Amino acid sequence: MREYDIEILVSICKKYEQRFRDFKKYGIINVKNKKVLVNLLVERDDKIDDLESGWHSGVDVNVVRLGGNYVTNTFNFFVNNIDVSNPRSRWVMKCDDDSYTDIDGLIKNLEDYYDYRKPFYLGANLKYFDGGPEISFVNKYWDLMHNYKKIHRSLKHEMEACIWSIPAIKNMLENERSLALLKRRGEIEEGATDVCFAFASALIKQYPIDCPFLTFHPNINDFSLFGLERRDRQIKNHIHMISRDGYGENFKVHDKLKFSLISQFLEETKDPIKEKICNKKYILELQNEIKIYKFNENNTVNIKSGNQNWLWCSRNEEKEEVVLFDCHSMPHFLQLDQKGNMKGKIENRDVELYMIDVAN
């Protein structure tokens, strides 16, 4: 009997413990009445406290220690720990610990657009295999690629996140070629997991579908959490690459700011900047045009690009600032004075916003 709407595979390690703690608090959100099982694949014998506590209601946790790193653990769990004859869920999702998923929105979209009883392999931002890090050790499993050696560069794979239906997993695990490739890849600690899952699925002529509500990118303004409507492109239930911990990877300050936006949206702690500007009206005179803006408590502001409101968050480090995120998720910085007025740049233009009243 199925207990969960979806189960999630995510690898964690002591080195990046802060990412795990943020994922626990902010990564699996808006659960509502859905049931989620998170399989925490812990690297080697890393000791991390409070693995099972502090999650949102509706989320159960299964701590898994397989003795490998984040790559081998994912493949070996997939091969050995998913019981397709007695599945716990309709869907299985693989994602990273610097991602954010609107569970209620995701499950609704899965139910609306895909049939869990059929084999579906849904990926984020599918791309052709172009070599990348995987090319340096593809020779370690090259003999298992069979006739797909000829077209491996024409095969597509997901970027970071994917979702399988149980029949799709069953097809892979019950096929001798696919299973052998997955097992071999589970012995190699290098690289990432995206490419070889797609290769193993291709061996049974089961190719990934580009899922419109998953993205590899940190597109905060497309995230369904904020309830924004977009006519020009699909709202995303899953976004990625947002962290306050750069740990040597190519994370920009923009992504740390996006983390601040998500945490401020979800937290109920008092924010002096938010208290100062929320629900106040501001006037902006720009190119002989006067506009009235309002900063809302749900972190939206009625500055629009096309038909979409921008987002905002506060920043209080060396000075009080308001950070605006445009429709491309790019930040614009406004410095706040004691009276609540703002000065800075929007789309490379110097602007000043003046508070005009305190009414709703």
Residue 304 β-bridge partners: 309
Which of 2.60.40, 2.40.128, 1.10.3470, 3.30.1380 is the CATH number of 269-357? 2.40.128
Neighbouring-strand partners of residue 93? 8, 163
Spatial CB neighbours of 245, under 8 Å, sequence gap ≥ 6: 16, 18, 19, 22, 251
Over residues 135-167, the pLDDT tens digits come to 999 999 999 999 999 999 999 999 999 999 999
How many CA atoms are closer than 13 Å to the CA of 153, on its beta-carbon side? 4
How do the domains of the chain map onto residue ranges?
4-216, 269-357
Tokens 């390690």 appear where? Answer: 13
CB 241 within 8 Å of CB 248:
no
Cα(239)–Cα(297) distance, integer angstroms: 22
pLDDT tens digits, residue range 254-286? 788 899 999 999 987 788 999 999 989 999 987
Supply the pLDDT for residue 255.
Answer: 80
Instruction: Please give the structure tokens belonging to residue 340.
Output: 């609540």
3-state DSSP call for residue 5? Answer: strand
For domain 4-216, give its CATH number from 3.40.1800, 3.90.550, 3.30.420, 3.40.30: 3.90.550
Residues 250 and 245: their CA atoms lie apart, in Å, by 11
What's the CA gap between 353 and 356, in Å, rounded?
A: 9
Query: For residue 269, what are its two tokens?
Result: 């702690």
Would you tell me the crossing angle of helices 176-185 and 194-202 to the nearest 10 degrees? 160
**Which regions of the chain are under pLDDT 50?**
248, 250, 360
- What pLDDT is attached to residue 357? 65
- pTM (2 decimals)? 0.93
